[in-house]
Structure 1
Amino acid sequence: MKQHVQWFVYSILSLFSISLVSAQEKAIPVFENGEAQIVEAFNNTKDWIRHDLWVETTFDTDGDGKMDRMHVAVTRPKQTDTEGLKLPIVYESSPYYAGVAGEVDGLFWNVNHELGEEEKPRTKVEVKRTGERPIISNSQIRTWVPRGYIVVHSSSPGTGLSQGAPTVGGINESLAPKAVIDWLNGRAKGYTTPDGNETVEAFWSTGKVGMTGTSYNGTIPLAAATTGVEGLEAIIPVAPNTSYYHYYRSNGLVRSPGGYLGEDIDVLYDFIHSGDESKRAYNNRTVRDTEMKNGMDRVTGDYNDFWAGRDYLNQMKPMTAALLMSHGFNDWNVMPEHSYRIYQAAKDMGLPVQIYYHQFGHGGPPPMSMMNRWFTHYLHGVNNGVENDAKAWIVRENDDRLKPTAYEDYPNPDAKHITLHLGKGGKTAGRLTPIPAKKQGQETLVDDATVSGIDLAQASESKKRLLYTLPTLTEDLHISGLAKISVTLASSKPAANLSVWLVSLPWNGEKGAKITDNIITRGWADPQNHKSISESEPLKPSKFYTVNFDLQPDDQVIPKGQHIGLMIFSSDNQYTILPKPGTELTIDLDKTTLQLPIVGGKDALEKAIK
C-alpha cells in the first residue's frame, strides 16, 4: 500500500513538474528597465500570423443603406494561437495605405488672384487603388511584434477596401477607429468579408490598445481618443493635424500648408479617396461638392461650424487616453501649434501627458525608449514610473534628434513674456527694445508677393517689408513658448495679407545651413478678422486697426553674436493668396508690440543685450 501511495505522489509531482516546465517554456513578454524587450520566440517573421477582416461601424456614409465596414489587418505572434497567449495591441490607421492621387496641373487652387475674389474651379482627380490582401501595411510591425504586441492596421473610411466616404476630419473618421477598438474588446462585430455574415473574434486581445502614427496617421489616434472609447489606453501622435482650420487657415487668413501652395481640404479629399469606385460619385456629391464646398469658404477664411466640427480641441471632453505628443518646431507643413494646443488641453484635463519637440521639420517620432516605456506602462501595466518622468523633452539645436533634454514642462516654467517696442527705421533695421519710446510715428511697406520672405529678411534695405532688431546678443538667449504680436495698421485696400517672421540675423545663407540658424518662428493673420477669427469685415482704407495673434510655438536658444529681428510684411509667397503688388500697409510704431517668452525673463534679456 505504501508503495502505491509513493508511486501516486511521484506521478502527481512528475506531472506538476512537466506542467511547470511547459509553462516556463511558453513565450511571454519580457521587460527590463521598464521597457519591453525583443523576445526571440516572437521575432521569426515566418511564424507571424497575418490575416484581415472587416469591422462594422455605426455609420453609413456612402449612402448604400448599410453600416460601413472598415478593412482591418492583424499581425500577431503564433503563440496567440498555439499557446493561448493574449497580448495588447499597437494600432495605426491611415487614409494613405491604398495609394493617393498623383499631382496634376490644376489639382491645387490657383492662388494668384486678388483677396476676396472668387477662384476658378480646380482640376478634380481620381485615385487608382493599390495594395493586396491581407496586408494593409507593414509599418510598426518589426518594432512591436517582437516585443510582445499585436499590430493592427486599418484603412480609414472611403480608402482602400474600407467602405464609406472620406470626410477629412468628419465624425466618421473618429468613429471608425473606435469601432476597431470596440471589436478588439468584443463590443463590435468583425467579418471575414466586406458583405458577408461569417464573424471573426479577437480572442488573442487583452483589450488594451495604443495608437500611433505620423501626420494624418497621427491625427487618427487623437480622433479615436476624443470618443472616449474604452480600451484605448495611450496614444503617441507624431506631427498630427489637430484642426483642419489651423492647417488651411490662420487667424482668418486663407493660408496653405508649407510646401503645398493652393492645397485645401477638398484637395486632400481627392488625394486620399481610394475607396470603392462605384461609391465615388455619391461621396463626391455629398461630401466634396456639397458639405466642403458650402463650408470651407476660401473667400473670407473665417472660422465657422464646418471648421469647428473638424477641430479636435472642441471634442476632447470624453478623452481618457494617456498622451505622448511629438512634433518638430520647424514643421511648416503641420505647424507646431497643432500639438501644443492639444497637449495644453490634455494637461488641463489632468490626463497623463508628455511632449517631445525637436528642431527639425515634419515628422520625427520620439526616441524608441520613450515610446517603449509609454506603451509598456499603459498597455502591459508595468510600473516603470513613466508617469513621473519629465513632462517636456526638447532636442537642443545641435543635438542628436534622439537625445532630447528633459524639462519640467513646456513652455519652460522659467519663461516670462517681455514686451518689446518698435523704433523707427524699419526699411533698413529699426530698433526692437524693451523700453518704449514715444512719437516713433508710422512706417509703410508695399506688398509684393514676387519677393520671398527669405529674400526680404536678407535685404539690407527694402520698402517691401519692415524690420526691427534687438542689439547684438552678448549672451545666448533662450526663448520658450508663444511669441505674441499686436500690430496696429492701416491698409490702402479693403483686404490685405499680414505676415510676421521672427528671424535670427545675420542670415546664414550657406549651403547646409540649419533652419534654426535663420527662422525662429512665424505667423499670419487677416486684418479683416481683427475682432474675431469668426467675423471679418472689409477694411476702411487709411483707418487703423489692431490685430492680435500668436506666432507658432518655439523653444530655441539664440546664440550670442546674433540679432533677433521682427519682420512685418504682407503676402508670403510660400503660404498666402498672392494678389498683384501694390497694397500698402502702414504700421503705427507706438501701438505695435511683440511679447517674447524669454527664459529668465527681464534679467536674462538685459544681460544678453547690455
Structure 2
Amino acid sequence: MNRPMTLRPPYDFLVFAAFSILAPGLMNYATTVGAEPAVPVFKDGEAQVVKAFVDPDYWIRHDLWVQTEFDSDDDDKPDRMHVSVTRPGQTESEGLKLPVVYISSPYFAGTGAKGKEFFWDARHEVGVTPPEREHFPAVELKSRRPIISKSHAKEWVPRGYIVVHSSSPGTGLSQGCPTVGGDNESLAPKAVVDWLCGRADGFTTPDGEEKVVADWCTGKVGMTGTSYNGTIPLAAATTGVEGLEAIIPVAPNTSYYHYYRSNGLVRHPFGFLGEDIDYLYDFIHSGNEPRRDHCDCEVRDKEMLQGFDRKTGDYNEFWAGRDYINDLEPLKAAVLMAHAFNDWNVVPEHSVRIYQALKAKGVPSQAFFHQGGHGGPPPMKMMNRWFTRYLHGIENDVEDDPRAWIVREQDKREKPTPYDDYPNPDASPVKFYLSAGAPERGKLTTDSAADEGTETLVDNFSFSGAALAQAEWTNHRLIYVLPTFHKPVHLSGTPRMTIKLASNKPAANLSVWLVSLPWTESKKTKITDNIITRGWADPQNHASITESEPLVPGQFYELTFDLQPDDQVIPKDQQIGLMIFSSDRDFTLRPTPGTKLTVDLNATSITLPIVGGDAALAEAFKESKSEKKE
C-alpha cells in the first residue's frame, strides 16, 4: 500500500499523525499477540471474534479520496469521494487480505436545520401551486478533520473484516453535488468498490496525484446501512459493479416518489409534514463549498423544483430517475432486506417491492421484518451468516434458510419467526364489502348482495386519524367493522382498496386506514398497536399515477390502490375496521375543511390477505363452547 506522505492542509498533520501513532503498535504486534499468524475463524457458519483483531490499538485507520467517473459539479474535473479505512494491523504486518464491509452516507459531516419553518407549508388547497418555502442556511461542516465515522468497526473488524466508510457526493469532504437519488449517488459507491478491487484510483488528497492502493482487500465487498445509508447499498448494487457480493439494506428508501407521494397524492413522511426532496437536498448538502452555489442552482432550483411537481403529485421522469426498481437489471449482489411494518417514515412498501422484484429476477434474497418503527437491522447472527457466505465464501447453506423472518408481536427482535416466504404462502385474498352505518359504524361483510347506496363524509384535518377511529359518531369519516374475532387472524401481504367516490370540489385528499378495535392507546407513551396499515391516493389520478385530471364535482370515479404491506396477527376479542376519510393531518396537505366525499358503497371493497383464507376467517368468527355458555 502507498502510504500518504505528501499531504496538504488541512489534512496533512492529522493523517500523518494517525500513521505515526499506529506505527509503534504495529512494530510490537508480534511480541504482544504471539507469533501465530492471525486469520479469520468460522464456527457454525459464522465469522467468530478473533482475539488478535479485537484491540483497536492495533487497527490501522487512514483517509483518502477515490476518483469517480462523473463530474456532477461541472468543474471539469472528476469528482473525488472522501473515504476512510479501518483495518486490522495484520493487513500491514502480515500481508493479510480481508473482505470489506462498506458504509456510505450523506450524514457523516453534519446536517442542516430541522426547524419546521423551512418545510413547505402544507396548509393549502389540494391541486394548487404551493407557496414557496424558505431555504435554510448552508450546512456547516461538523468537523474539518478527515474522520468520517467509526460505526460498524467494533462489530466487524474483530470478526475478520475491514470496515470502509465514505461520504456521498456533495457532503463532508467529498466533491460533487448531492442529488438525492440521482445517478451520481449510485456511481459514487461503485467507484469506491472499484478502488477496493483495484479498478479505480485513490489519492492521498482531494486534489493531489499520489495514489493509494487497496492491496489488503480480497476483492469481496459487502454493504449495509440504515435509512439513507441503507439506500446507498441498493444504489451501488444497481450498477452491477464487480466485487459487491452482498448487501443488507435496512429501511432503505427505494423510490423517492414513494417517499414523498402516494398514488398521485402529495404525502409526507410521518413526523416531517411539509418535507419534500428539495428540503432533503438542503439538509444533507454539507460539502463542496467552492461549488455550493452551482449545485444549488443546477440541482435544487432547476432539476428538483422544476421536476418534482408538488402541485399534482404525478409520477414523471424526474421521479422515475430516482426509483431504483427501474434500475434492477444489472443487480447481482445477494440481498438481505430489512424493514419494519410500522415504519411510517420510510413505509414498508419500499423494501417489499424490491424484495418481490429480486425474487422474480432470481437474485439470492431474504427478508427480515419486525413490528417496530423506522430502522432496526436483522439480528447479528443473520447478518454474520450473510456476509460469511458471500464475502468469506464459507459454505454455510444460508441460501437454503427460510426466505422470510418476521418478528412476531411481543417477541424480541433478536428472535424472529422463520417463514417459507413473504407474503406468507398460505395467505389468500378475501374480499370484503361495505354495509351502511354512517355517521356511526357500518359493517364489513363478505356478502355483496345488499343495495347499500351512498354515504358522505366531510373533510376536516383538525381531527387526527386516531380520534376519528375512536369516535362513536362523526361525519368526518366513514368506518366499517367486522364482527369480533374469537380466534386470532393472521394478515400477511398487501391489502388492496377499490373505491368509487364523488367529490364536491375539483381536488381532494383520500386516506384509508385499516384499524384494530377497540382502541388501546397507552396514555403514558401514546403508542398504539391499533393501526394495522394505511394508504393514501389522489382521486384525480383515478386512471393513472402519471396523469391527473380535475374532478367534475358530483361525478363518480373508481380507483384501485394498495395500502402498505403488513404481516400482523390480530388477537381474539378484536375487530378489524376499515376507515375512509379525506385529509390525514400527519401525512397529507391540510386544505380548508368542508370538502365532501360521497362513497358508492356497492362499488367499494377491500381485499385482505388472510393466512388460511375464507376458512380461517370463518373459524375466527365461531364462538367456543365456553364463550357460548357465558
**TM-score of the two chains, using structure 2 as the length reference:** 0.92
Q: 2:456 is matched with which residue?
A: 444
Matched, 1:237 2:249: yes
Q: Hey, what does 2:20 align to over in structure 1? A: none
Q: Which residue of 2 aligns with 1:102?
A: 113
Residue 149 of structure 2 corresponds to residue 137 of structure 1: yes
Decide which of 325, 340, 353 is 1:341's aligned counterpart.
353
1:172 counterpart residue number? 184
- Tell me how far apart the structure 1 counterparts of residues 202 and 526 of structure 2 sit (CA, whole Å): 49
**Does residue 375 of structure 2 align to residue 363 of structure 1?**
yes
Partner of 2:340: 328
Question: Letter of the aligned partner of 1:211 in structure 2?
Answer: M
Structure 2 partner of 1:17: none
Is residue 366 of structure 2 the alignment partner of residue 354 of structure 1? yes
Quick one: distance in 1 between partners of 2:525 and 2:424?
A: 26
Distance in 2 between residues matched to 1:181 and 1:207, nearest whole Å: 8
Q: 1:513 to 1:433 in 2, by over 3 A?
A: farther
Please give the alpha-carbon distance, in whole angstroms, between the structure 2 residues aligned to 1:609 and 1:191: 68
Q: Tell me the distance in 1 between the aligned counterparts of 2:419 and 2:554.
A: 47
Q: Residue 512 of structure 1: CA displacement?
A: 5.2
Partner of 1:85: 96
Report the secondary structure of 2:391's partner residue. Answer: helix
Q: Is the 8 A contact 1:426 1:466 kept in 2?
A: yes
Match of 2:56 in 1: 45
Q: Of the candidates 252, 277, 282, which is equivalent to residue 294 of structure 2? A: 282
Deviation track 1:492-539 (CA, whole Å, cap 9, x = no partner) reads: 000000000000000012335795621000000000000010010000
Aligned to 1:112, the other structure's residue is in SS state: coil
List per-residue Cα deviations over 1:77-109 (Å, max 9, x = no partner). 000000000000000000000000022352100
Q: In 1, Cα distance between the equivalents of 2:275 and 2:446? A: 39
Question: What is the SS of the residue equivalent to 2:354?
Answer: helix
- TM-superposed CA distance for 1:162, in Å, is 0.2
The 2-side partners of 1:26 and 1:105 are apart by 56
Q: In structure 1, which of residues 154, 157, 161 is the aligned counterpart of residue 166 of structure 2?
A: 154
**2:227 aligned to which of 208, 215, 221:** 215
Amino acid at match of 2:615: D
Partner AA of 1:361 in structure 2 = G
In structure 2, what residue type is equivalent to 1:123? E
Q: In structure 1, the residue corresponding to 2:155 is in which secondary structure?
A: helix
Question: What do residues 321-373 of structure 1 show as CA deviations (whole Å, max 9, x unaligned)?
Answer: 00000000000000000000000011111011100000000000000000000
SS in 2 for 1:547: strand
- Residue in structure 1 matching 2:195, options 183, 187, 192: 183
Superposed displacement of residue 426, structure 1: 3.3
> What is the letter of the counterpart of residue 31 of structure 1?
F
Aligned to 1:604: 616
Query: What residue is the counterpart of 1:477 in the other structure?
Result: 489
Between the aligned residues of both structures, percent identity stands at 66
CA shift for structure 1 position 278: 1.9
Q: Does residue 1:590 correspond to 2:602, yes or no?
A: yes
CA contact (8 A) 1:359 1:516 kept: no
1:457 aligns with 2:469: yes
The CA distance in 1 between the partners of 2:271 and 2:163, in whole Å, is 32
Structure-1-length-normalised TM-score: 0.95
Structure 1 distance, partners of 2:412, 2:525, is: 16
Amino acid at match of 1:365: P
Aligned letter for 1:253? L
Residues 451/514 of structure 1: CA separation in 2 closer, same or farther (3 Å cut)? closer
Match of 1:251 in 2: 263
Distance in 2 (CA, whole Å) between partners of 1:61 and 1:484 is 41
> Cα distance 1:547–1:456, how it changes in 2: closer, same or farther (>3 A)?
same
2:88 is aligned with 1:69: no
Q: 1:149-173 deviations in whole A, cap 9, x for unaligned?
A: 0000000000000000000000000
Question: In the alignment, what sits opposite 1:579?
Answer: 591
Whichever residue aligns with residue 225 of structure 2, its letter is G
CA contact (8 A) 2:522 2:528 kept: no
Measure how far apart 1:24 and its partner are.
7.7
Corresponding residue for residue 318 of structure 2: 306
What is the aligned residue count?
A: 589
> Equivalent residue for 2:410?
398
The letter of the residue matching 2:369 is Y
Say whether the 8 Å CA contact 2:84–2:147 is kept in structure 1: yes
The residue that corresponds to 2:38 in the other structure is: 27
Query: What amino acid does structure 2 have at the position aligned with 1:50?
Result: R
Query: What runs of 5+ residues in structure 1 fail to find an aligned partner?
Result: 1-21
Which deviations, in whole Å up to 9, do the C-alpha atoms of 1:46-68 show, x marking residues without a partner? Answer: 11000000000000011111000
CA–CA separation in structure 2 for the residues paired with 1:193 and 1:277 = 16
Task: Name the SS of the counterpart of 2:234 in structure 1.
Answer: helix
Distance 1:25 1:514, change over 3 A: farther
How far apart in 1 are the matches of 2:147 and 2:173? 11
Is the 1:423–1:437 Cα contact (8 Å) retained in structure 2? Answer: no
Could you tell me how far apart the structure 1 residues matched to 2:131 and 2:263 are? 24
Aligned with residue 433 of structure 2, among 392, 399, 421: 421
Whether 1:316 aligns to 2:328 is yes
User: Is 1:55 matched up with 2:66?
Assistant: yes
**Given residue 235 of structure 1, which amino acid in structure 2 is its aligned partner?**
I
CA contact (8 A) 1:485 1:593 kept: yes
The residue matched to 2:100 in structure 1 has which SS? strand
Question: Residue type of the partner of 1:183?
Answer: W
Higher mean C-alpha displacement, 98-107 vs 86-95: 98-107
Is 1:128 aligned to residue 140 of structure 2? yes
Q: Distance in 1 between matches of 2:272 and 2:476?
A: 24
Q: Distance in 2 between matches of 1:221 and 1:130?
A: 24
Distance 1:119 1:605 in 2: 46
Q: Within 5 Å, give how 1:481-492 maps onto structure 2.
A: 481-492=493-504
Measure how far apart 1:132 and its partner are: 4.7
SS of residue in 2 equivalent to 1:63:
coil
* CA distance in structure 1 between the aligned counterparts of 2:475 and 2:608, rounded to whole angstroms: 25
Return the alpha-carbon distance in structure 1 between the equivalents of residues 438 and 525 of structure 2. 26
1:464-510 alpha-carbon deviations (Å, 9 max, x no partner): 00000000011100000000000100000000000000000000123
